[in-house]
Amino acid sequence: MDQDLPASGTLVCHGITWASGDPRLLLAPVTGGPLVYTPVMGRRLGYQVSDTGRWCTGRYRFADRVRVEALACPDRAPAEAGGQCAACAGRDDFRFAHRFHSGGHVPDALAVYMAQPHWLYLATFADGTTKVGTAAEPRKRSRLDEQGALIATYLARSADGRAVRFLEDALTRHLGLTQTVRAAAKLTALAELRDLVPARVAHQQHLDRATEALSGLNVPATPEPWTPPGEGDLLRASGTGRALYPHDPRAGEHGWTVLSCLGSQVLVALADEGEQLAYLLDLNALKGRRIILGAQFCSPPAAVQSALF
């Protein structure tokens, strides 16, 4: 992945990635070439959405036996179902990973990838919702960093991707734990966050029940706390004033400085406002949008009062 942004031009946004250890916007120049990325923390980010359409965000390719890498759509085509064009969706072998343990088609490269160790984890969000999930060994850290959770624990290390998905389904079945949390729910919960105690209590309760359930399946739990990245400290701090960003980031022009990042949710300060009110938005809302980056772009005025002040 190339680190250098083009000096000018339009880019298709692929959303936030934590693959490099810190949050970055992953972008595809519409003129072609490899994906590029730009750090977001502590930086002034100005952009303009260039049109109203949604564009293909490419696919994942198996880089070797244990890693996958993102690829840009070679045609920079309009998006269809799932945010991809038909050509990229048809070549994306990783899409079979979620049903790998349930039978059906298994590409050879996916079978090799799934043969490596995987981790089972619990992640709890700002409203106390807890999800169960899995991560391949090379994605152990970045997978949880990108979730936007307040608290998380690795439950157990499994021999391979098939075994860990059976455990994931078992915890969903026995404990009612979800495997997905909507981005809008994460964002709303963060906007309303006032106290971390309820989330901590909820996480411990789910952790205790999950440990007991795994024991009943003759699987020893080896709880290991996830260490949250420092980029999210301000968003995790109870009592930090914030309001939902009052504009649609998928249209028009915007400009802000990112103060904190939790998954794809960011807390930003508008460059042209003297007040200290910070705004919360999800940068993954830009996935599939064509944008032009530039310091000259600014957000419209925001006449919003925070309920937390």
Q: What is the pLDDT along the chain (309 residues), one digit of tens a residue?
A: 445 566 568 999 999 999 989 999 999 999 998 999 899 998 899 999 998 899 999 998 887 777 788 999 999 999 998 899 999 998 887 766 666 666 666 777 788 888 999 999 999 999 999 999 999 999 999 999 999 999 999 999 999 999 999 999 999 999 999 999 999 999 999 999 988 999 999 999 999 999 999 999 999 999 999 999 999 999 998 777 889 999 999 999 999 999 999 999 999 998 655 556 899 999 999 999 999 999 899 998 876 544 443
Q: Is residue 169 part of a domain?
A: yes
From the CA atom positions of the chain, what is the Rg in Å?
Answer: 20
Q: Is residue 69 part of a domain?
A: no
Q: Is residue 42 part of a domain?
A: no
Task: Judge contact between 63 and 70, C-beta under 8 A.
Answer: no
If you search the block for the tokens 């007040």, which residue do you land on?
275
Q: Is residue 38 part of a domain?
A: no
Q: Is residue 7 part of a domain?
A: no
Task: Judge contact between 202 and 231, C-beta under 8 A.
Answer: no
* Whole-number pLDDT of residue 104: 66
Q: Is residue 233 part of a domain?
A: no
Query: What does the pLDDT look like over 131-151, one tens digit per residue?
Result: 999 999 999 999 999 999 999
Closest-CA residue to 242 (of 305, 197, 301): 305
* Whole-number pLDDT of residue 2: 43
* Whole-number pLDDT of residue 241: 80
* Whole-number pLDDT of residue 143: 94
* Whole-number pLDDT of residue 277: 80
Give the domain extent around 129.
112-228
* Tally of structural domains, the chain: 1
Number of Cβ within a 10 Å radius of residue 102: 10
CA–CA separation, 15 and 257 (whole Å): 17
* Whole-number pLDDT of residue 114: 86
Q: Which two tokens stand for residue 282?
A: 């999800």
Q: Is residue 21 part of a domain?
A: no
Q: What share of the chain is helix, strand, coil (3-state, %, to 5)?
A: 30, 30, 45
Q: Is residue 31 part of a domain?
A: no
Strands of the sheet with 44-49, listed across from one edge? 36-39, 24-29, 10-17, 290-293, 44-49, 253-262, 265-269, 279-282, 243-244
CA–CA separation, 21 and 42 (whole Å): 15
* Whole-number pLDDT of residue 306: 45
Rounded to the nearest 10°, the torsion over CA 123, 128, 131, 134 is: 0
* Cα angle: 228, vertex 148, 52; to 5 degrees: 145
